[in-house]
Amino acid sequence: MTDGNSNLPLVWDLVDRKTEVFAELANQVWETPETCYMETESAAAHREMLEAQGFRITDAVANIPTAVMGEAGSGGPVIAFLGEYDALAGLSQKADTVEHDPLVAGANGHGCGHNLLGSASLLAATALKDWLEKTGTPGRVRYYGCPAEEGGAAKAFMVRDGAFSDVDIAISWHPSNFAGVQRETSLANCRIDFTFTGRAAHAAAVPELGRSALDAVELMSVGVNYMREHMPSECRIHYAVLDTGGISPNVVQAHAKVRYVVRAPDLAGLFALIERVKKVAEGAALMTETKMESVTLAGVSNLVVNTPLMDTMQDIWESMGPPAFDAADIEFAEKIRATLTPEDVAASWAQERLEQRDIPLADFVLPPHNEVRQMGGSTDVGDVSWVVPTVQAYGATLAIGTQLHTWQVVAQGKSALAHKGMASVAKVMAATGLAAMTSEQLREAAWADLKRRHKGQDYKSPIPAQAEPPIAAMSVR
Ligand SMILES: Nc1ccc(C(=O)N[C@@H](CCC(=O)O)C(=O)O)cc1
Least confident residue range of 3-12, 222-231, 283-292, 401-410: 3-12
CA distance 403 to 275: 32
CA distance 286 to 406: 39
Whether the CB of 19 sits within 6 Å of ligand 1: no
Whether the CB of 340 sits within 6 Å of ligand 1: no
Which helix (H) or strand (E) element contains residue 415? Answer: none
The residue type of 347 is A
Which helix (H) or strand (E) element contains residue 192? Answer: strand 188-197
Q: Yes or no: say if 189 and 263 are a contact pair by the CB < 8 Å rule.
A: yes
Whether the CB of 470 sits within 6 Å of ligand 1: no
- Looking only at the bridges linking them, the beta strands covering 180-181 and 390-396 are antiparallel
Q: Which residues pair with 19 in a beta bridge?
A: none
Average pLDDT, the chain: 96
DSSP three-state, residue 26: helix
* 188-300 CATH choice from 3.20.20.80, 1.10.1370.30, 3.30.9.100, 3.30.70.360: 3.30.70.360
Q: Yes or no: say if 313 and 393 are a contact pair by the CB < 8 Å rule.
A: yes
What secondary structure letter does DSSP report for 211? B
What's the pLDDT tens digit per position in 122-152?
A: 999 999 999 999 999 999 999 999 999 999 9
> DSSP string covering 137-178, please?
--EEEEEEEE--TTTT-HHHHHHHTTTTTT-SEEEEEEEESS
pLDDT band at 3 (very low <50, low <70, confident <90, very high): very low
**What is the pLDDT, as a whole number, of residue 376?**
85
pLDDT band at 476 (very low <50, low <70, confident <90, very high): low
What's the pLDDT tens digit per position in 415-425?
A: 999 999 999 99
Global pTM reads 0.95
Distances (CA, A) of 19 to 120, 211, 274, 425: 9, 60, 45, 11
Among the listed residues 310, 305, 258, 287, the one whose alpha carbon sits nearest the alpha carbon of residue 453: 305
**What is the pLDDT, as a whole number, of residue 4?**
46
- Sign (positive/negative) of CA torsion 455, 457, 459, 464? negative
* 7-186+302-454 CATH choice from 3.40.190.10, 3.30.413.10, 3.40.630.10, 1.10.3720.10: 3.40.630.10
CA distance 428 to 65: 30
How many Å lie between the centroid of ligand 1 and the Cα of residue 333?
A: 24
What's the pLDDT tens digit per position in 349-364?
A: 999 999 999 999 999 9
Whether the CB of 150 sits within 6 Å of ligand 1: yes
Residue identifier of the C-alpha nearest atom 1 of ligand 1 = 174
CA distance 114 to 111: 8
Distances (CA, A) of 368 to 98, 217, 404, 432, 460: 33, 45, 23, 16, 30
pLDDT band at 455 (very low <50, low <70, confident <90, very high): confident
Residue identifier of the C-alpha nearest atom 7 of ligand 1 = 377
What's the pLDDT tens digit per position in 168-200?
A: 999 999 999 999 999 999 999 999 999 999 999
Whether the CB of 151 sits within 6 Å of ligand 1: yes
Q: How many angstroms from the chain centroid is the CA of residue 456?
A: 27
Whether the CB of 245 sits within 6 Å of ligand 1: no
Residues with Cβ within 8 Å of residue 337, at least 6 apart in sequence:
345, 360, 399, 400, 401
Q: Which residues in the chain are classed under CATH 3.30.70.360?
A: 188-300
Average pLDDT value for residue range 101-116: 98
Distances (CA, A) of 452 to 163, 304, 386, 388, 448: 23, 11, 11, 13, 6
Q: Which residues in the chain are classed under CATH 3.40.630.10?
A: 7-186+302-454
What secondary structure letter does DSSP report for 352? T
**What is the pLDDT, as a whole number, of residue 1?**
41
